[in-house]
């Protein structure tokens, strides 16, 4: 098999579970109930996911960005051994990035916390360290592949040298682009599109399929 040079991770329901990257700052801003109402409308089909995300962004109005880093681990529910997996991949000279539809500010915290080499996400507006409730640039599910391609182009990495790790249908284009893919804690539909599938609460379980 082709030598792996990059592993691209999804964030929500892949690295962190239950508390998603948009939900987390809503909780920090005391807007958990409002978030739940938007989520309910989306699940009923009354809102598409993009409209729902713009509504959720409004719930961040007034939140200090610094609270994300200060409180991330008190709220988020990450898989076990994320930092250990990143360290192991780095030992094998493999870069690691995270690509999410959620706020890039949360992706940055994840990147810094666990040692990722890069991150992509929707750019939620922050002025003087405070969220304004607006989104400057939205990374839709269709744009996730553009993020991966951007990193590969800038770093001279070919598609066959990449591994995509994700859980949902929005990750399938990444699966199709990369030389290998791992469906992590995913549905049968997503598993069918991946090279490998793993159900686990410990990220180290993916290593045999990467190294």
pTM: 0.94
The yes-or-no verdict on residue 53 having pLDDT over 80 is yes
Kindly state the DSSP code that residue 160 receives in the 8-state scheme. Answer: G
Cβ atoms of 165 and 43 within 8 Å: the answer is no
H or E segment and range at residue 34: helix 32-43
Give the pLDDT confidence score for residue 122 in this predicted structure.
Answer: 96
pLDDT confidence of 2, banded at 50, 70, 90?
A: confident
- Mean of the pLDDT values across residues 163-187? 94
CA nearest to 90, candidates 118, 71, 64, 109? 118
Q: Beta partners for 164?
A: 8, 181
The yes-or-no verdict on residue 25 having pLDDT over 70 is yes
The helix, strand and coil proportions of the chain, stated in percent and rounded to the nearest 5, come to 45, 25, 30
Tokens of 46: 């009354």
Cβ atoms of 186 and 167 within 8 Å: the answer is yes
- pLDDT (tens digit, 9 = 90+) per residue, 123-170? 999 999 999 999 999 998 889 999 999 999 999 999 999 999 999 988
Kindly state the DSSP code that residue 93 receives in the 8-state scheme. Answer: T
Residue 100: φ, ψ to 5°: -140, 155
Give the pLDDT confidence score for residue 1 in this predicted structure.
Answer: 59
In the chain, the percentage of residues whose pLDDT exceeds 90 is 94
Candidate from 1-5, 22-26, 104-108, 196-200 with smallest mean pLDDT: 1-5
Give the pLDDT confidence score for residue 76 in this predicted structure.
Answer: 95
- Mean of the pLDDT values across residues 108-132? 97
Distance of CA 152 to the CA centre of its chain: 17
Give the pLDDT confidence score for residue 167 in this predicted structure.
Answer: 95
Cβ atoms of 165 and 9 within 8 Å: the answer is yes
Per the prediction, the chain carries an average pLDDT of: 95
- Mean of the pLDDT values across residues 30-49? 94
Could you give the 3-state DSSP secondary structure of residue 203?
helix
Give the pLDDT confidence score for residue 131 in this predicted structure.
Answer: 98
Q: How far apart are CA 143 and CA 22, in angstroms?
A: 17
- Give me the domains of the chain, ranges plus CATH numbers: 6-17+77-209 (3.40.50.1000)
The yes-or-no verdict on residue 116 having pLDDT over 90 is yes
């Amino acid at each position: 098999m082709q030598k792996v040079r990059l592993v691209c991770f999804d964030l929500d329901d892949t690295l962190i579970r239950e508390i998603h990257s948009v939900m987390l700052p809503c909780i920090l801003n005391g807007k958990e109930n409002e978030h739940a109402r938007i989520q309910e409308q989306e699940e009923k089909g009354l809102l598409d996911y993009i409209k729902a995300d713009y509504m959720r962004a409004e719930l961040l109005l007034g939140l200090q960005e610094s609270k994300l880093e200060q409180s991330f681990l008190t709220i988020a529910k990450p898989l076990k051994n994320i930092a250990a997996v990143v360290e192991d991949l780095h030992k094998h000279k493999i870069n690691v990035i995270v690509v999410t539809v959620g706020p890039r500010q949360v992706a940055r915290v994840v990147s810094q916390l666990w040692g990722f080499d890069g991150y992509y996400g929707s750019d939620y507006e922050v002025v003087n360290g405070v969220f304004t409730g607006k989104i400057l640039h939205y990374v839709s599910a269709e744009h996730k592949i553009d993020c991966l391609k951007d990193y590969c182009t800038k770093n001279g990495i070919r598609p066959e040298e990449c591994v995509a790790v994700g859980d949902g249908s929005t990750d399938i284009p990444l699966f199709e682009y990369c030389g290998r893919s791992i469906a992590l804690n995913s549905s049968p539909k997503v598993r069918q599109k991946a090279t490998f599938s793993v159900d686990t609460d410990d990220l180290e379980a993916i290593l045999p399929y990467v190294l």
